[in-house]
Amino acid sequence: MTRRRFWVYFLLFLLECICYIDRVNMSLAGHSVAVAYGLSPVALGYLFSSFLWVYVLMMLPGGRLVDAFGMHRVAAAAVAIWSVAQALTGAATGFVTMLLARLGLGVGEAPQFPVVCQSVRDWGPYTERGWAIAAISSGTMAGPALASPAIAWLIQATSWRWSFVVTGGIGLLWVGVWMALVSTPERTSWLPQPERERILAERHAGEPASQGPGIGYLGLIRSPSMWGLAISQGCAVYSLYLYLAWLPSYLVTARHLSIANSGLFTAVPFAAGAVIMIATNWIGDRLLSHGALRSGRRRMVAMLSLILTAAGMLIPLAQSLWLVVLLTILPVGFSNTTSAANGALTSDLLRSPADSGRAFAFLVLGGNVFGLLAPIITGYIVAATGSFNSAFILAGALALVGAAVSALLTHHTLGEALPARALRTGSA
């Protein structure tokens, strides 16, 4: 049996790499931008977070667009929009124009995670759903890991402006390749017929699913599982954005590294985290039976990952730079692992394919409502205390809250009517 569908996974992996390269570019350029425009830590925190404001507002409409027009069309349009915005960041003349460019980045990136989850649901047998989402989502760490040293070098050798222009151009190149090669499994000509038949037979767990119009957002928000997924995702994403936005600045200001060296040390936890994400979700796929997956037992992967994410609370106790870097591997790696596990868990629990884009969008909305606060709150903490210690402790505590929420709420299917008692109690 051929595995040509893996080329689609690979292109989606590159999409995630590019998405997070564009995000970490601002983190690596943050010190230079702050010097150029005289920005305080609070102002810099708002700038780090700004793209997430529109990202959150566009999340639910973005999920609806995926359901209406298909993941392949929405992916091309979204990456084109955010890549142009990324390049325009390099042309900013001040704080306001840079803020506007970052808002454009948020508009384009809003459908990104729903596109990934919907693509795996359309293209992959259910038996590879967890590791496929994890492998694709590992691009969120592989991108920063591979690109951070190069971007830091580019900023130091040329200027922070050119770093945004170059990374924006990479995204536009991806759009051309995607449009030339990818449609749906039914319409993609280079997909062998036996593989196409397997995908169509097994992508919805080999069981009949509801083919109606779906329950829509109003139906989804009545589900305790949807809220459990969204909140636990938020607790994971808070840690992710704390480290993605502030780790380079922390290494420069608190650990006294150069910009170039901060890029090298930032790469380590993201590279290790990519391996952690794939391995953990692959093990989950292998250990859990068909029935366990359909009943939502994948929540155990998310819960364990959130508990390990909380280890970031130990960073303030570390004296050695290398110990700091090793400790950051846990929150960086396992916050991303949680995100991938929740994406697969949402797909496991979903019974109405017509709601898939909206369900994934709601999941990411929950994640990024928390995520957009992380850079801002951290900026205020640093300004008030002169230290990052309380920021690391807060992120770890939220991760433990997320583990508890996942354990309590994610016990019901999505897209099916719940018994009245379950709606009252929020338990299975």
Q: Which domains does the chain have, with CATH numbers?
A: 5-425 (1.20.1250.20)
As a whole number of angstroms, the longest Cα–Cα distance in the chain is 63
Q: Give per-residue pLDDT as tens, 40-90.
A: 888 888 888 888 788 888 877 877 788 788 888 999 999 999 999 999 999
Rounded mean pLDDT of 338-346? 90
Q: Give per-residue pLDDT as tens, 87-101.
A: 999 999 888 999 999
What is d(CA 395, CA 19) in angstroms, rounded to the nearest whole number? 23
DSSP code at position 126: G
Q: Which of 237, 189, 279, 222 is nearest to 416 (CA)?
A: 222
> pLDDT value at position 396?
96
406: pLDDT confidence band, cut at 50, 70 and 90? very high
State CA 231 to chain mean position distance.
Answer: 14
Structure tokens of 8?
A: 């689609």
Rounded mean pLDDT of 111-116? 84
Share of the chain above pLDDT 90, in %: 36
Query: SS3 of 350, please?
Result: strand
Mean pLDDT comparison of 196-200, 203-207, 276-280, 311-315, highest-scoring range: 311-315
Please, what's the b/e burial string for 190-229 (b: 16 or more CB within 10 A of its CB; e: otherwise)? ebeeeebebbeeebbbeeeeeeeebbebebbeebbbbbbb
Residue that wins the pLDDT comparison between 211 and 198: 198
What is d(CA 144, CA 147) in angstroms, rounded to the nearest whole number? 5
Q: Which of 371, 344, 328, 348 is nearest to 141 (CA)?
A: 328
Cβ(270)–Cβ(336) below 8 Å: no
Total number of residues shown for the chain:
428
Q: Which residues pair with 414 in a beta bridge?
A: 350
Query: Is the backbone of residue 395 left (phi > 0), alpha (psi -120 to 50) or beta?
Result: alpha
405: pLDDT confidence band, cut at 50, 70 and 90? very high
Lowest average pLDDT, out of 96-105, 236-245, 407-416, goes to 407-416
Q: How many CB atoms lie within 10 A of CB 76?
A: 18
The pTM (predicted TM-score) of the whole model is: 0.71
Lowest average pLDDT, out of 8-22, 381-395, 414-428, goes to 414-428
- DSSP letters for 394-414: HHHHHHHHHHHHHHHH--S-B
402: pLDDT confidence band, cut at 50, 70 and 90? very high
Give me the amino acid identity at 309: T
Lowest average pLDDT, out of 171-180, 288-297, 378-387, goes to 288-297
DSSP code at position 124: S
Cβ(250)–Cβ(324) below 8 Å: no
Give me the amino acid identity at 6: F
> pLDDT value at position 420?
44
> pLDDT value at position 222?
87
Average pLDDT, the chain: 86
Residue that wins the pLDDT comparison between 417 and 381: 381
Structure tokens of 28?
A: 């690596």
